[in-house]
Amino acid sequence: MMTVDIVTIFPAMIEQPLAAGIVGRAIERGLLDVKVRDLRDFTTDRHRVVDDVPYGGGPGMVLKPEPIFRALDAIAAERGGALTVIMTSPQGRRFTQVEAERLSGLQHIVLLCGRYEGFDERVRDRVTEELSIGDYVLTGGELPAMVILDAVARLVPGVVGDEQSVAQDTFSRGLLNHPQYTRPATIRSTGAAGERDLGVPEVLMSGNHAEIRRWRKREALARTLARRPDLLDAASLDEEEERILRELRELQDGRIEGLQEGKAEE
Ligand code: 9D3
């Protein structure tokens, strides 16, 4: 079982979403033990103060170090042994699928959620790593902690029912997924383009499994080439996929040359 301690001043932001979905079921089934710790429970003053003004002046408030140190001491005493402490922070290294895979192999992690202008620098003395989820500004580390927990939890064996779907995942395989369809076979749509019937590619209803497999490979590669060509550098492709990708690139090059020669697009 993997255990995760989350330290926050907004426990409700974490507890409600955790109860639902695949992660909620994993907790119920005992595959995952998540404990949400209210940072204010580790203060010692009457007003349970967790922040203070920055030394040297300036706008905003800084999270005080003592409540965080006390919270980490309590978690270390309860869990036993050295802690892996992950600080969520805009200054952190980027959290990726590779990071999620590494963390999913650990027995226990602590996630520290930042607020205000951030942590007193001395908290980093107790931190193993600092992670950001991307280049956009949020109001705190709670959503990043949930993102990290979600991505890590689904890699813990047994959490996601279908191991095959975890293994075939976009970022494990290095390609975007092919388009998916389910019933009905046609659906009426009223949109900007007017009214029309939307069908399903014939090949998917043909029952020809070799054809379907090839169509899916082609669609996945075409999508990746169009939307995320950067992923193709690291993707591990089989021989058939390499061949299809060469074809798609030739088509693409042909089209660009055609345009350079001044031919109109159809
Ligand atoms: C004014 C300078 N900002 C630092 C770059 C202040 C600041 C902005 C946002 C301080 C804290 C925050 C709150 N964000 C997080 O705690 C956070 C975060 C994010 O905003 N984006 C992506 N990943 C993360 S992980 C934690």
| Protein residue closest via CA to atom 7 of ligand 1 | 117
State mean pLDDT over 197-223: 98
Q: What is the pLDDT of residues 93-119, one digit of tens each?
A: 999 999 999 999 999 999 999 999 999
CB of 133 shorter than 6 A to ligand 1: yes
Reported as a pLDDT band with limits 50, 70 and 90, residue 266 is: very low
- What is the torsional sign of CA 136, 138, 141, 142? negative
Tokens of 211: 């054809």
Span from the CA of 209 to the centroid of ligand 1 (angstroms): 48
The answer, yes or no, to whether any atom of ligand 1 lies below 6 A from the CB of 138, is yes
pLDDT attached to residue 255: 79
Atom of ligand 1 nearest to the CA of 133: 23
What is the reported pLDDT for 167? 78
User: What are the CA-CA distances from residue 71 to residues 108, 132, 245, 260 (Å)?
Assistant: 15, 22, 52, 64
What pTM was computed for the model?
Answer: 0.93
Mean model confidence pLDDT for the chain: 94
* Centroid of ligand 1 to alpha carbon of 39 (angstroms): 18
Q: Binning pLDDT at 50, 70 and 90, where does residue 173 land? A: confident
Instruction: Please state, in angstroms and rounded to a whole number, the distance separating the CA atoms of residues 7 and 99.
Output: 20
Using most ligand atoms within 8 A of CB, pick from 39, 89, 91, 99 the residue to mutate for ligand 1: 89
- From 68, 87, 94, 137, give the residue whose CB has the most ligand 1 atoms within 8 Å, as the site to mutate: 137
Cβ contacts of 223 within 8 Å, gap of 6 or more: 176, 177, 178, 179
Q: Which residues are catalytic?
A: 90, 117, 154, 169
* Ligand 1 contact via 9 beta carbon (within 6 Å): no
Q: Is the CB of 54 under 6 A from ligand 1?
A: no
Average pLDDT of the segment spanning 240-262: 84
Grade residue 261 by pLDDT with cuts at 50, 70 and 90: low
Residue 139 Cα: closest atom of ligand 1: 13
How much is the average pLDDT of 73-88?
96
Query: Is 67's C-beta closer than 6 angstroms to any atom of ligand 1?
Result: no
Could you check whether the bond before residue 184 is cis, i.e. omega within 30 degrees of 0?
yes
